[in-house]
Amino acid sequence: MARLIVVTGGAGFIGSALIWTLNRMGYDRILVVDALGQGDKWRNLVGLRFDDYREKDDFLEDIRNGTIREREVQVVFHLGACSSTIHPDKRYYLKNNFEYSKELATFALGGGVRFVYASSAATYGDGSQGFSDDEQQLDALRPLNMYGYSKHLFDLWLRRRGVLSKAVGLKYFNVFGPNEYHKGEMRSFVHKAFFQVRETGGVRLFRSHHPDYPDGGQTRDFIYVKDAADITAFFLNPRVPGGIYNVGTGEPHTFNDLVRAVFDALGAPPRIEYVDTPESIRSQYQYFTKADISRLRAAGCTAPLRDFAGAVREYVTEYLVPGLHLGTAGR
């Protein structure tokens, strides 16, 4: 029998997209690990093929008591985390994003199991140190929020123990696409813009408070979730070197570009209103992100990435308008 592929956060946004991708590659011996709670995240699992499901705390107990052994596992994709940047209890980030990750990494790497985990582009802070995934630059990074700091702590923890080269850390940039509806305020702006247009006919964007950027000219490296999942699945290959890799496109777009692509997908003329960025987040606001993906390409991940406007159009017309998710849509 084939060994298990473990996906923590498997009912979440990127996790469920990864399982969808793995299914299309012929893999279904998958253990989904998540914390479903009282929301609708379970809907992301409908239509996907997997072997079993475990709640995240139960899964950790399975590891501790030997119910799951290293020899039964091919790879751990550790994508589960508290991804909110505004959670009030900072201890929760440490417990969920740092302590849990350390225990899972110890299990996997100690038993020779491939360990692929979600880091984050939030570790880069304001971007003043650039967006290079060279691990020698880790000490210079200054995350702007506790979410980014919790991810950065784990990167540093692996490096201090000399095992970062045995693991694979993926720094996801601004991911958008189907299966994100449950994320509340952490949804992509493509999702938010679609519902603003549907409800009001227009979209509100933050006004720029930086002299180098016009209103709506704030820039992000947006990547479609299907592309992010393809890149993640690439690291199934045990011959691909470990370390940290950026997961982005290397081609940033402005929020104006994004909103116009949403309007275009809906066949409506753009109607944009600019409002002040709230004081509470102004000091943490990023004006520019751009993934350096040269290391990813050098590792052999050469698959083409979707055109930005085309990806927005597919998301809007094939998922948001009909109200579908990856497991039940036609593509």
Q: How many CB atoms lie within 10 A of CB 71?
A: 10
The rounded distance, in Å, linking the Cα atoms of 214 and 254 is 10
Residue 136 Cα distances to 164, 244, 291, angstroms:
11, 10, 16
Helices (H), 13-138: 13-24, 56-64, 90-93, 100-110
CA dist 168 and 184 (Å) reads 28
* Distance from C-alpha of 287 to C-alpha of 322, rounded to nearest angstrom: 33
Q: 282 φ, ψ to 5°? A: -60, -35
Catalytic residue list contains 319: no
| CA quadruple 205, 207, 210, 212: dihedral, nearest 10 | 70
Measured in degrees and rounded to the nearest 5, phi and psi for residue 167 equal: -95, 175
Active site residue 226: no
Distance of CA 200 to the CA centre of its chain: 29
Report the distance separating Cα 92 and Cα 88, nearest Å: 9
Strands 174-176 and 222-224, bridge-based pairing: parallel
Instruction: Point out the catalytic residue in the list 183, 192, 213, 287.
Output: 183
CA end-to-end distance (rounded Å), the chain: 29
In 3D space, the residue among 227, 215, 226 whose CA is nearest the CA of residue 259 turns out to be: 215
Query: Of 93, 124, 147, 315, which residue is the catalytic one?
Result: 147
- Whether 190 contacts 176, CB under 8 Å: yes
CA pair distance 322, 135, nearest whole angstrom: 43
CA distance 54 to 159: 29
> Any idea which residues carry the catalytic annotation?
147, 183
